[in-house]
Amino acid sequence: MQSIANTMHKKPKLRLVALLTAPILWLVVAYLGALATLLVTAFFTIDSFTGNVVQTFNLGNFQDMFTDAAYKNVVLRTLGIAISVTVICTILAIPMAFYMAKIAKPKSQKILVALILTPLWASYLVKIYAWRTMLEPGNGVLDWLLGPIGFNSPGFGGPAIIIGLSYLWLPYMILPIYAGLERLPNNLLDASGDLGAHNWYTFRRVVLPLIFPSLVAGSMFTFSLSLGDYITATIIGGKLQMLGNVVYQNFSINLPFAATIATIPVTIMAIYLWMVRRTGALASL
């Protein structure tokens, strides 16, 4: 033991290799390998007789995807939903996180964090079915509660998907922003206030730029989880489908086509990650 420890201490390279081997093997070989294998499948096709994958290179799937307007619709719709969910979560999360981090007393701060964490343990499906009960047009909870004051449920469809997904992912937005704000020294805000800045000005010019990485980190959850979701759309989406539904539907009968569709969210996320990599957001997840 002692000798191993000494050797390890004297050879930092060896220690580095020991530390890196397992995680890199896991992420690169297992994960990226699986991903690459899937994406390569997009260029294959299936035997129309047996349904088995035939490994001959062709671009037919991509041609189908780009020529059929339906796929353009679903990409735009999914992007629209994912962006809306992110915006809504951000708007809801910032004041909540700000109150929790900067105004609440330490004791209530803990309780508030617990209150935000709790819904993460209620099952995804149960929560979405609860939203079905909430949104049911005519006799849902929303109409029952708010009908008397003239507010009606939007029913099932795009708005319902946006509400449902915002609900599911809101805690994932609040928590990083809260953590970001907590790290922010109070005297910074005081300084800005002392210099005569209004609350709003301080927030916009001092707080917002500093918590921007946390915002981006939260958006990675809200945006990417929305981008790939297919269950919420099935349950409260009315007639609408999202990209995930198309992938899921084609997966077992036509893997190459499912893989072709899957290249879209992968590309979108790759661009997104590339854009945010410099903000320090990746470390704030």
User: Which parts of 73-92 interact with another protein (CB under 8 A)?
Assistant: 73-74, 77, 92
Binding pattern to another protein, positions 14-53, x when CB under 8 A? -xx-xxx-xx--xxx-xxxxxx-xx--x----x-xxxxxx
Query: How far from the centroid of its chain's Cα atoms is residue 183's Cα?
Result: 23
Task: Answer yes or no whether residue 255 interacts with another protein by CB under 8 A.
Answer: yes
Q: Considering the rule CB under 8 A, would residue 149 count as an interface residue with another protein?
A: no
207 binds another protein (CB under 8 A): no
Q: Is 238 in the site for another protein (CB under 8 A)?
A: yes
**Cα 5 from chain centroid?**
42
Number of residues that bind another protein (CB under 8 A): 137
CB of 133 to another protein, least distance (A): 5
Task: Report which DSSP code applies to 43.
Answer: T
Q: In the complex with another protein, which residue's Cβ is closer, 18 or 208?
A: 18
| Buried b or exposed e, range 151-188, using 16+ CB within 10 angstroms | eebebbebbbbbbbbbbbbbbbbbbbbbbbbeebeeee
b/e per residue 12-33 (b: at least 16 CB within 10 A)? eeeeeeeeeeeeeeeeeeeeee
Q: What's the closest the beta carbon of residue 153 comes to another protein, in angstroms?
A: 11
Does residue 266 bind another protein (CB under 8 A)? yes
Which residues have a Cβ under 8 Å from the Cβ of 265 and sit 6 or more positions away?
78, 227, 228, 243, 244
The identity of residue 112, as a single letter, is L
The residues in 162-191 that bind another protein, with binding defined as CB under 8 A, are: 167, 170-171, 174-176, 179, 182-183, 186, 189-190
Q: Tell the smallest beta-carbon distance from residue 119 to another protein (Å).
A: 6
CB of 150 to another protein, least distance (A): 18
